[in-house]
Each structure stands twice: as structure tokens, then as C-alpha cells.
Amino acid sequence: MSTPTRAPRNTLSRDLVVERAVRLADREGLGVLTIRALAGECGVKPMAIYHHVSGKEEILDAIVDAVFAEIYAPQVDGPWREELARRSRSVREALGRHPWALALMEARRNPGLATLAGHEACLEVLRSAGFSLQATAHAYAVLDAFVYGFALQETMLAQVDLDGSVDELVESMDLARFPRMHEFATEHVLQDGYAFAASFEVGLELVLDALERLQAAFA
Amino acid sequence: MSTPTRAPRNTLSRDLVVERAVRLADREGLGVLTIRALAGECGVKPMAIYHHVSGKEEILDAIVDAVFAEIYAPQVDGPWREELARRSRSVREALGRHPWALALMEARRNPGLATLAGHEACLEVLRSAGFSLQATAHAYAVLDAFVYGFALQETMLAQVDLDGSVDELVESMDLARFPRMHEFATEHVLQDGYAFAASFEVGLELVLDALERLQAAFA
DNA sequence: ACCTGAACACCGTTCAAGT
DNA sequence: ACCTGAACACCGTTCAAGT
């Protein structure tokens, strides 16, 4: 008779814990990401987690930084407008793949290495393109506001879509009270995520146009 | 001997519970907003709360809607650009007063009456100003993305400021690795919230300019 | 009707113990 | 060194009981 099966030793590492945490959050949502469930995902008992990570706070910081690590870092040798557009689309895609990330980012106080490196790359692109310090500050604030704000709206929209369709939502509310929202739903403008997604490209070009004007104004 | 002091009856109501929940979250943060602490804030035992509210979910939905109720609703009889600017500033101020609101909005699925009425008012202003359905969809998506995204950044920035200053943060990281971020910190661009706040007005005007161009393009 | 106390199934985390 | 079991102080919530 062999010894009873037991989780093999040295099978766990900080990186693996973080990877499994991301996987669990993607699959089941942030609410299910508990130390106990994470341990299950790693095939280990809850207390084993604490040998690779100081606690839940560190895990949350780490999975946020893991999302930033997936995002394209803009390059100084390319045209700044295309590089920042590519970065912006990449942010939106990453936040779409990990819908829990945005809510988490907001509450975290300790930015990780990938987070800092991403900011650094964006600032470097703007400064290298000749944006003054003032212009860079405004430009980065406006671009990031648009990108993260758009992702925020998509996250909220996706959550409403989960149970009832937008149609049902609108029908459930007083049509006399909210005629414009009804118009939007019936005209299929908000019907699916695709129509809304089209606004991202439109908005991105408008914001990049605005950055060009900023570059000139704060020279 | 009088009867032992007891919390007077009929002192509680749904509105009072919601008001106290907002007050508690403002003062101590979302993490402290538990049913037990909320009961204490209302001068009552935990289980009394459940007589006025179905559970914590309803409380969270209600305090988000309470924040929307504080925000200026744009009017159709004013110039659309000024009305939307005033709305945008009011959103930013409200989210500044209640830093927990943004994180909560994101996860909620049931928009309240004040939330819906706010959306309706914005859509009405745009449509009345002659924006086509397409133009309205893009315009509202872009403007809201900017406003909420900016508030998101301010919330994050405020959280970092709480413990260490930005200076300390930058000194703690590798200067050779993040020279542009160091430049920003030393040049005082991110020094305080005020410098960053200036970007809001700059960005708002740029976005409103963009809406005017949208109005023409999607006529 | 409104409020309460005790209990249940969860959480993150500490600490002493096993291999 | 890595993993575990039992225990502690918390959650939200149910249910039966008091006034």
C-alpha cells in the first residue's frame, strides 16, 4: 500500500498563486476570490497560501499589476499618436478580459512595477514627441480619463446585460418619465456592446485630436 | 425607578438608514460600512436594520442613488455646452465628496431613480440641442468617459497621498528606471491635487469642443 | 409593528503542530 | 522549508421571541 495521496510539495510559488487568483477572478468574479477558494484552485489547504504571500492585500495588489503587465507599452521610436492609440486599445482590451480589475485598481494604494513602467512609457512617449511638461500633464490626464472612463462604462453596461436585456430594463421603467432613454433602447443604439464599442474609436480619435491641439497650446 | 432606557421606537426609517449609511461611508470608508456598524450609527441593534431595508445590497444601491441625487441636472432651456459643463463639474464634486461612490457604482446592477433621471436629463439636452441619435450616443459616451475617468484618477491619486507624499513614493522607486515619473514629481506637476485639478477644466473644454465637431459630423 | 438575542455559515488570519 | 488543523474575531443573515 502506497502512502496516502497528498498534494506534492514545492508545487506552489508566489507566481502560481497570483496566476491562479487571476484565473479564479476571471471565471467566478471578485466575490468568489477568497483565500479558501484560492487555496482550492491551487490544490492546497487555505493556510498554505500564507507561505507565499503576506495576505489578501498583497494578492489584490499583485493581480492588478498582472493585468497591467498584459498591456502594450508604447514605444518612443514610433509615431506618438499611433503608439498611444495602440496603448489605449490595449488597456480597453485588458480591462475587458478582466472586468474585476478596474474596481480593484481604484482601491489599491501600492502600484506595482508593471503599473509604474506603463505610466513611465506613456510619459516618455509624450515628452519625446515634444510635449512640454504642462502639455504632457494635461494630455495624459485627458487620455487616461477617457480610456479608463470608457472601460468603466462598458463594465457597468456588461453587468446590466447579464440578467435582463436593455429592452426589458427600459420597459420596466416609466416610459413617460424617461422618453429619451426609451428612444435610445428602441433605436438599438444601446442594444448590444458593439454599438457602444464603436464610440470608443470615435472618441479616441477626438481625444487624440485634442492632444495635438494641447501640444501646440502649451508649447 | 423608571423603566430602563431603551432606544425609542419608530425612530428609524428607510431614508434615515440610507442617510446614516452615506454619513458612515464618508467618515470611515466603505470597509467600515457593515450592518453592525450602521446599526450603531443609527443607535439601534443590528437586526433592526432589516425592518427597513431588505439587506446590504439594497443599502449599497440606495447610497449610490443618493449620490446621484446630489448632482446637478442639466436643463433644456439653457445653452447645451454650459449646461453639460455644469453637470460635469457637479459629478466631479459629488464623487469628490463621496470617494467610495465610484467603486460602488461599478458593481451595482440596479440603477435607481436619481441615476436614471440624470441620464435622461443629459440625453434630453443633447437631443434638444439638435444632436442626432448617433451623435448623441457618441457625445454622451465620450463626455461621461472623461468625467468619470477623471474622477477615477483623482480618487486613486488621493489614496496615494494619504500615507506618503508623492515625493516619497518617487524617491522609493528606482530613479534610473522611471526618470519621467521622477521629472513629474520633482517639477511639482503632481505635487498636490490642485495642479491635477487644473487638467479637469482644460480637458472639459477640449471634450466639449469635440462634441461640437461630433454634432456637425453626424448631422 | 418594530426591535432584539441567539445561532448559522461564512470571512481573513494567528499559532502551534506535523513532515 | 513547506504544509496543515484548530481556533479567534469578524461578516451577512435567518428565525423565534419579546413589547
Q: Give the pLDDT band (50/70/90) at residue B162.
A: low
Question: Chain C positions under 7 Å from a protein CB?
Answer: 2-6, 10-16
Scanning A192-211 for CB atoms below 8 A from B yields 195-196, 198-200, 202-203, 206-207, 209-210
Residue A84 carries which side chain, given as an amino acid letter? L
A46 shares its domain with A92: no
User: Distance between alpha carbon A31 and the CA centroid of its chain, in Å?
Assistant: 17
Which residue has cell 467618515?
B27
Chain B CB contacts of A105 below 8 Å: 156
Which domain, by its residues, includes A152? 73-217
Q: Domains in chain B: how many in total?
A: 2
Q: Does B23 touch chain A (CB under 8 A)?
A: no
- The residues, ordered by sequence, that sit 6+ positions from B207 with a Cβ below 8 Å of its Cβ are A142, A206, A207, A210, B142, B143, B146
Cβ of residue B57 lies below 7 Å from strand D: yes
| A138 is a domain residue | yes
Q: Give the pLDDT band (50/70/90) at residue B186.
A: confident
Q: What is the pLDDT of residue B190?
A: 59
A136 shares its domain with A199: yes
Q: Return mean pLDDT, chain B.
A: 89
Q: What is the pLDDT of residue A90?
A: 98
Q: What is the 3-state composition of chain A as percent helix, strand, coil, each rounded to the nearest 5?
A: 70, 0, 30
| B102 is a domain residue | yes
Alpha-carbon distances of B214 from A29, A210, B128, rounded to whole Å: 37, 13, 15
Which CATH number does the domain housing residue B157 bear? 1.10.357.10
B136 shares its domain with B48: no
Which CATH number does the domain housing residue B31 bear? 1.10.10
B116-127 pLDDT per residue, tens: 999 999 999 999
B84 shares its domain with B174: yes
Let me know the angle formed at the C-alpha of A96 by A94 and A97, rounded to the nearest 5 degrees.
65
Contact (CB, 8 A) for A64 and A105: yes
| A120 is a domain residue | yes
A87 shares its domain with A49: no
Q: Is the pLDDT higher at A33 or at A164?
A: A33
B142 shares its domain with B213: yes
Q: Mean pLDDT across the stretch A109-132?
A: 95
A151 shares its domain with A191: yes
Q: Is the pLDDT higher at B196 or at A57?
A: A57
Q: What is the pLDDT of residue A4?
A: 31
Q: What is the pLDDT of residue B124?
A: 98
Q: Give the pLDDT band (50/70/90) at residue B163.
A: low
Q: Does B156 touch chain A (CB under 8 A)?
A: yes
